[in-house]
Amino acid sequence: MRPSERTGRLGVGIIGAGRVGPVLGAALANAGHAIVGVSAISDASRDRAEVMLPGAPILPIPELVERSELVLIAVPSAELPALIAGLAETGAWQMGQLVLHTAPEFGADVFAAARGAGVIPLAVHPAMSFTGTSVDLARLAGTHFAVTAPTPVLPIAQALVVEMGGEPVIVAEADRPAYAEAVETATTFSSAIVDQAAGLLEAIGVDAPGRVLAPLVRSAVENALARAGGGIPPV
């Protein structure tokens, strides 16, 4: 089925029930799409899927792909190429099927093994740190998503981002590694610095160091973001 022939409502299958997949699935469900199933292996992932996607069946990946018009793949980046290639080898992918992954460092080219089956490849990464809970649904509003896709289908990826409450930002295929490095740097360093500062305060007997650091860190980050063209400008 060509994109122009689709109704607005898609049957969505989610591969991966970590912190990201169920949240994005819930956002798509809130936008009117139907969740046909989710893959989940561990007890924790099954519990998360039940909370975020109540009633969605837990399905084996091949069956999930077979049933879905849109396959959302939210697995660790290192697992993504082999997963796509493995499903291509078994003939699981379908003509006209939308396939979307959330790995920051990969664009649409990671779907090369599946392109022969006629899939529509979309790379969509939300620039947000996830908890895997309903708290994330509110945080998606206004979050920027890096979007990479072939030009003819780029509007599909952008529309899906808007439906999830986000703001699409086009990132070229060749620029995905640099984008991923920026995301990793911001996430790792901000967490490490807060942990280090909290440890120093704990060592001198300060109770609840997080409450002490919160106004300082937030104001420092806002000032830095304002200098970078975002955030709240300093007064």
Angle between helix 154-163 and 21-30 (nearest 10) = 80
CA dist., res. 154 & res. 123, Å (int): 10
pLDDT of residue 3: 39
Residue-wise DSSP of 162-187:
HHTT-EEEE--GGGHHHHHHHHHHHH
3-state helix, strand, coil in the chain (%, to 5): 50, 15, 35
Q: Tell me, what's the pLDDT at 216?
A: 87
Strands 11-15 and 144-148: unpaired
Q: What is the pLDDT of residue 25?
A: 97
What pLDDT tens digit does each residue of the chain (235 aa) get? 333 344 479 999 999 999 999 999 999 999 999 999 999 999 999 999 999 999 999 999 999 999 999 999 999 999 999 999 999 999 999 999 999 999 999 999 999 999 999 999 999 999 999 999 999 999 999 899 999 999 999 999 999 999 999 999 999 999 999 999 999 998 888 888 989 999 999 999 999 999 998 888 878 878 887 888 865 554 4
The pLDDT, as a whole number, for residue 2 is 37
Whole-angstrom distance, CA of residue 143 vs CA of residue 189: 20
Could you give phi then psi for residue 136, rounded to 5 degrees? -65, -30
Q: Which residues contact 71 (CB under 8 A, 6 or more apart)?
A: 12, 13, 15, 64, 65, 97, 98, 99, 100
Whole-prediction pTM: 0.85
